[in-house]
Chain A
Amino acid sequence: MRKPIAWWGERALLVLISVVVLFPIAWMFLTAFKQPRDAYSLSLNFAPTLQNFVTVFSDPWNLGGMVLNSVVVATVTVAIAVPCASLAAYSFSRFRVRGRKFLFFLILSTQFIPAVVIVLPFFLMFRNLGLLDTRVALIIVNLAIVTPFVIWMIKGFIDAIPTDSEEAAMIDGASRLRVIKDIVLPMAAPGILTSSIFCFILTWNEFLFALILTRRDAVTLPVGLVSFRTERGDLWELMSAAGVMITVPIFVMAMLIQKHFTRGMTAGAVK
C-alpha cells in the first residue's frame, strides 16, 4: 500500500525539526573532539582527540574548579529551595484561607522582577560584607529566582493529587503533619523530583549573577566560557570542550525527567 503524500510530508517535517534541534548540539560535541586546526575546517574527516579536555582542566583554565563551583551552588540552592517550596506549595494547594490567593500572587509576581534589579543591591551588599566572589553569594541570589518558580511547579503537582485519602486519614484522626509526611510527600515525590531537577538546571545555567558577583574563585561554568575569548581570538575547540562539560550532566538529568517534565510544565500553567 502506498503512503499518501501527507504521511511522507509529516515524516520529512519531523526529520527537519530533529535536525534543527540536534545540529547545533552535535556540532559542538564534534568540535570538542577536534584538534585546533580541524576545528576551523568544516571537515567531518578528522582524527578525534581528547586533548581539548586535558587542556581545559589544566592551567590556566582550570575547569575543574568551575565544575565544583557549579555543582556546589546548584546542589545547595536546590537543597534549600525545594523543601521550603514544597511546604509552601502544600499550604497554597490545600488550605482554603482568606488571603491565600493574594499571597500566592505576591510570590509569583516576584518572577516579573528582572534579575538586574536584584543583583545591583546584592552586589553592593556583598561588597560591604566581603562576600563578592564566593559561592555563598551565588546561592543566596539564585534562591531569589528559583524559589517562587519551584513553589508554582510543585503546587501544580500537588493540585493534581486527589484529596480523598488525605481526608479519610484526617477523619481517622491523623494530624495534618502526619498526612503531609505519610500521604502527600510520597505521592508528590515524582513531581518534587522533577521540580528539583528543573531547579538544578536553572541554577546550573545561571549566567547574569555569576558574571557580576564572581571574579576568580567562585566562577561557574557558563561564565567560564567567556574566558576562552582571548587576545588570540575565540578558542572554539576549548569552548566546545567546556560546553560538553556543561551540557552532559544537564542533558542526562533532563532526559530522566522528560516524561514528568511535560506534565509538570502544564499542570501549573493551565490552571
Chain B
Amino acid sequence: MKERTLFYALLVPAFVIVLATTLYPLAYSFVTSFREWDLTKQRRPGDFVGFQNYVHAASESGFQNSLWVTTIFVVTSVILTLVLAMSLALLLRRKGKMHTFTRVILILPFAMSPALIGVSYRFMFNPEFGVIAKGLGAVFPALEGVPWLADPDLAMAILVLTDVWHWTPYMTFMCLGGLASIPRETEEAARIDGASNLRIIFGIVLPQMKGVLLVTAVLKTIFALKMFDQVVTLTGGGPGTSTETMAFFIFNVGFKWFDMGYASALAWILTAIMMLISAWYVRMLLSERKMTTA
C-alpha cells in the first residue's frame, strides 16, 4: 500500500507539468476546432459550427497541397535518413582513430539549431554567391546558374537535405546502440565459415536490428511530420506553395490569417495522422517482439 502511494507521489510533479502544458491546451484546441473564430474580428471565441472547419479542410486546396508536400517530405526524409544512419552505424562501429573522430563530430549537426541550418543552407545554395551552388557549377558546368531554391522540386530536395543532415547523426547513434546490444557470436561464427560481409549484414545483423530500426523509423516519422523550422528559414514555404508543410500551413492559418477555428481543426487532423501512424508502428513493433521471443 505504501509503495503504491509513493509511486503516485513521485509522479505528481511531472504529471502536473504534462497535464497543464499539453493535455489542457489539447482539450482547448479541440473545443476551438468546432467554433468559428476570426481573431481579427472578435476577441472572444465565436459560435459552435459543428464540423464545418473539418468539412472545409476536406475541400480546401491550401490544406490539400500541404498534405501532399508533407507526404513527399516525410517519405523521402525518413527513408534517406534511415538508410544513411544504418550504413553509417555499420561503418562507425568498427575500431579506429578515424572512426572515433567521425563519431565524435557527428554530434555537431544534431546540436545545431534547425533554424540556423535553414539559414546556412539558404546561404550556401544562393546562385550568386553560395559556396555549394558555385562549387557545383564549377565542377559540373551544366549546373552553373541553376536557381536552386527558386525551383519547386529542387527547393524540396534541399529541404529534405537539411533535414537528413540534421537527423542522420542522432539516428546513427540509435543504430550504434542497437548494434552494440546484439550478440556478436553468430556473426563471428559466420565469418569463420567464410560468409561475405554483405551476407553477414543482410542475413544476420539487419534481421536482429528490426526492432531498433522500427523505433528509429517511428521517431523520424514523428519529427518529419512536425517539419517547420527550416521551412521558415530556408524556403519560406516557397517557391509558391511547393514546400508548405502541414505545420507551416497551420502556422499561416493561425498567425497570418488568424482563423483560430480552422487552424485548430487542421492541428487536430495533423495530431490524428501522427497518432494513427504511431499506433501502426507500435503494432508492428509488438508483433515483431512476439516473433523474436516465440
**Residues of A at under 8 Å CB distance from B?**
10-11, 13-15, 17-18, 20-22, 24-25, 27-28, 31, 39-42, 80-81, 83-85, 87-88, 90-92, 95, 97, 100, 103, 107, 109-125, 140-141, 143-144, 147-148, 151, 176, 201, 204-205, 207-208, 211-212, 221-223, 225-226, 234, 236, 239-240, 243, 246-247, 250-251, 253-255, 258, 261-263, 265-267, 269-270
Q: Tell me the bound Cα distance from A103 to B7 in angstroms.
A: 11
Q: Tell me the bound Cα distance from A90 to B6 in angstroms.
A: 11
Interface of B, helix, strand, loop or mixed by DSSP = helix
Q: Tell me the bound Cα distance from A234 to B131 in angstroms.
A: 15
Q: Tell me the bound Cα distance from A253 to B247 in angstroms.
A: 30
Q: Tell me the bound Cα distance from A271 to B115 in angstroms.
A: 32
Q: Tell me the bound Cα distance from A212 to B222 in angstroms.
A: 21
Set of chain A residues within 8 Å of B80, measured between Cβ atoms: none
Interchain CB contact (< 8 A) of B254 among A120, A205, A261: A120
Interface hit among B8-16, B139-147, B184-192: B8-16
Q: Tell me the bound Cα distance from A93 to B112 in angstroms.
A: 31
- A261, B107: Cβ atoms under 8 Å? yes
Interface hit among B23-31, B53-61, B71-79, B199-207: B23-31
- B10, A212: Cβ atoms under 8 Å? no
Return the 6 tightest CB-CB contacts between A and B, nearest first.
Answer: A266-B177, A144-B21, A88-B14, A121-B28, A91-B10, A84-B13
Q: Tell me the bound Cα distance from A11 to B103 in angstroms.
A: 14
Could you name 14 residue pairs across A and B whose Cβ atoms are closer than 8 Å? A14-B99, A18-B102, A18-B105, A81-B17, A84-B14, A84-B17, A88-B11, A114-B270, A225-B116, A226-B232, A243-B119, A250-B112, A254-B111, A269-B212
- A113, B271: Cβ atoms under 8 Å? yes
Q: Tell me the bound Cα distance from A85 to B250 in angstroms.
A: 31
- B7, A251: Cβ atoms under 8 Å? no
8 Å CB interface, B85-129 against A: 88, 91, 94, 98-99, 101-117, 119-124, 128-129
Set of chain B residues within 8 Å of A95, measured between Cβ atoms: 3-4, 6-7
Set of chain B residues within 8 Å of A234, measured between Cβ atoms: 122-123
- A91, B275: Cβ atoms under 8 Å? no
B252 CB, nearest partner CB in chain A, Å: 10
Nearest CB in chain A to that of B276: its residue: A112
Known: A116-B247, A117-B268, A222-B115. A24 touches B165 (CB 8 A): yes
- A118, B22: Cβ atoms under 8 Å? yes
Interchain CB contact (< 8 A) of A116 among B18, B91, B165, B267: B267
Q: Tell me the bound Cα distance from A88 to B9 in angstroms.
A: 9
Q: Tell me the bound Cα distance from A67 to B25 in angstroms.
A: 29
Supplied contacts A24-B124, A42-B131, A103-B11, 10 more A-B pairs, CB within 8 Å: A40-B128, A116-B247, A116-B250, A118-B26, A123-B255, A124-B28, A205-B111, A225-B116, A226-B233, A240-B120
Interchain CB contact (< 8 A) of A147 among B21, B225, B250, B255: B21
Interchain CB contact (< 8 A) of A204 among B113, B180, B222, B251: B113
Q: B229 in the interface, Cβ–Cβ < 8 Å?
A: yes
8 Å CB interface, B240-279 against A: 247, 250-251, 254-255, 260, 263-264, 267-268, 270-271, 274-275, 278
A15 CB, nearest partner CB in chain B, Å: 8
Q: Tell me the bound Cα distance from A115 to B24 in angstroms.
A: 13
- A251, B120: Cβ atoms under 8 Å? no
Q: Tell me the bound Cα distance from A87 to B17 in angstroms.
A: 13
Interchain CB contact (< 8 A) of B129 among A20, A22, A42, A225: A42
Q: Tell me the bound Cα distance from A197 to B173 in angstroms.
A: 17
Nearest CB in chain B to that of A84: its residue: B13
Q: B181 in the interface, Cβ–Cβ < 8 Å?
A: yes
- B270, A117: Cβ atoms under 8 Å? yes
Interface of A, helix, strand, loop or mixed by DSSP = helix
- A121, B29: Cβ atoms under 8 Å? yes
Q: Tell me the bound Cα distance from A110 to B275 in angstroms.
A: 10
Set of chain A residues within 8 Å of B4, measured between Cβ atoms: 95, 97
Interchain CB contact (< 8 A) of A270 among B101, B119, B170, B212: B212
B210 CB, nearest partner CB in chain A, Å: 12
- B104, A110: Cβ atoms under 8 Å? no
A267 CB, nearest partner CB in chain B, Å: 7
Nearest CB in chain A to that of B138: its residue: A42
B13 CB, nearest partner CB in chain A, Å: 4
A204 CB, nearest partner CB in chain B, Å: 7
Q: B178 in the interface, Cβ–Cβ < 8 Å?
A: yes
Q: Tell me the bound Cα distance from A255 to B105 in angstroms.
A: 8
Set of chain B residues within 8 Å of A117, measured between Cβ atoms: 25-26, 29, 264, 267-268, 270-271
- B113, A246: Cβ atoms under 8 Å? yes
Interchain CB contact (< 8 A) of A27 among B131, B233, B274: B131
- A225, B115: Cβ atoms under 8 Å? yes
